Amino acid sequence: MTRTTRRAALALTLAGALGLSACGGSGFEEGDGSSSAPSSQSGPVTLKFMITSNGPADVKLQQDTVKAWETKTGNKVEIVAASDINQQLTQGFAAGSPPDLFFTDANVFPTYAKAGNMYPYGKQIANSGDFYEGLTKTFTYDGQVYCAPKDFSVLALIINTDLWKAAGLTDADVPKTWADLEAVAKKLTTDKQKGLVIGDTRDRVGAFMKQAGGWIVNEDQTQMTADSAENLAGLQEVQKLLSDGSAAFPKSVDSGWGGEAFGTKKAAMTIEGNWIKGALKADYPNIKYTAVELPEGPAGKGTLSFTQCYGVAAASKNQAAAIDLVNYLSTAEPSLELAKGLGVIPPIKSARDGYLQAFPDDAAFLDGAEYAQGPVTVAGMDPVLKDFDSQIAGLPKADPKAMLERLQKNGEAVLK
């Protein structure tokens, strides 16, 4: 998972033309975990492992991380950096020659699972109970956990500490509720900056819906729950912030995303995942900031998670070795090393302390993992969700109730 919102947003929308299928369930315990024993060739094998990367450094990190496993098993790993991983995987599946192991995004994996391109190996994960439950639920399809989460991030409130102090605010003013957020956003708003700049899609605004006790679909994604009083309250809160001028969408302040507005000081606060750290370090190294959990809504805490998993190809002849490598990568030390190098968060609880020792300022992101909502992954729902995004972009003038009614109607048509 790359660490800028632009790249993250791209990863979350790559499945647009593919059509996704419903997934549900609560973790590794559901289903058989596999339809048959994993394939295995005798003797040492060479695994083809396809990854997404930002360049040679990411490839080297992955190569270095698997070396200990190669030494222990005698197997070899060929790291392939994909230029367009979804296109290359689709081509490999069609040709019957996919990589043995590959990264896949939460929004894409159900397409591969439904088509029979992925081997469901959830029951064969050695430390299944170590993963955050919300992440394993995300990668459950038809009652089976198909793949082990690779890493994740969640949304947090990012605060410019210099602008915070300049507005006369202290640690005691860190917003705990929506009312608190409204108050500090107003105090932070000046002629040159907005108190809060937030992305204009469900991947940001949806956090307010969750804090109000709502969401787009029910837990097992079999019913639409969009047209609800809770979701309406969430959208109305965003509308209120936008209407009073203390908040804005990025395009309103000539920015491509919340991180850009934050880095150029057009926003004193934004709502983003921990990928913003890398973007700020690279483009705005002088910005001082802190990350805190998102304020609670009427129903309590709420945030959104973004994640990928390690997919194993159904057509692979080296499934047993691929699963063994995943088991290795899903232990604390290698998982932590990858997190440090890639700017992601380990998906396992046993790596939490080590991650916090390395990144003590990231506690808000880790805390959010305990209650984060994963993305909607339902077959054919992508156009419906994109239409909802276009409606969100019309706030504050758009009618939130009409938006949710439209989302409900369009979503129900997909689920029938």
Please, what are the domains in the chain?
Answer: 5-154+305-368 (3.40.190.10), 156-302+380-415 (3.40.190.10)
Q: Which of 126-135, 226-235, 244-253, 378-387 has the lowest mean pLDDT?
A: 378-387
What contacts 94, CB < 8 A, 6 or more positions away? none
| Confidence class for position 2, pLDDT limits 50, 70, 90 | very low
- 3-class secondary-structure state, position 356: helix
Q: Check pLDDT > 50 for residue 1.
A: no
Say how many C-beta atoms besides its own lie within 10 A of residue 101's C-beta: 27
> What pTM did the predictor assign?
0.86
Tokens in use for 295? 């304020």
Q: Is the CB of residue 289 less than 8 Å from the CB of residue 280? A: yes
Q: What is the pLDDT of residue 380?
A: 79
Determine the average pLDDT of the residues in 149-162. 97
Structure tokens at 270: 């934004």
Maximum Cα–Cα distance for the chain, whole Å? 69
Q: What is the pLDDT of residue 342?
A: 87
Closest CA to 348 of 133, 138, 144: 133
pLDDT at 14 over 70: no
The DSSP call for residue 244 is T
Report the alpha-carbon distance of residue 343 to residue 319 in Å, rounded: 28
Give the C-alpha separation, 32 to 126, whole Å.
Answer: 15
Give the residue carrying structure tokens 């937030």.
198
Sheet containing 305-312: order of strands: 76-81, 46-51, 101-105, 305-312, 148-154
Which of 152, 170, 153 minimizes the C-alpha distance to 161?
Answer: 170
**Tokens (6 digits) for 35:** 């339809």
> d(Cα 111, Cα 118) in Å, to the nearest integer?
9
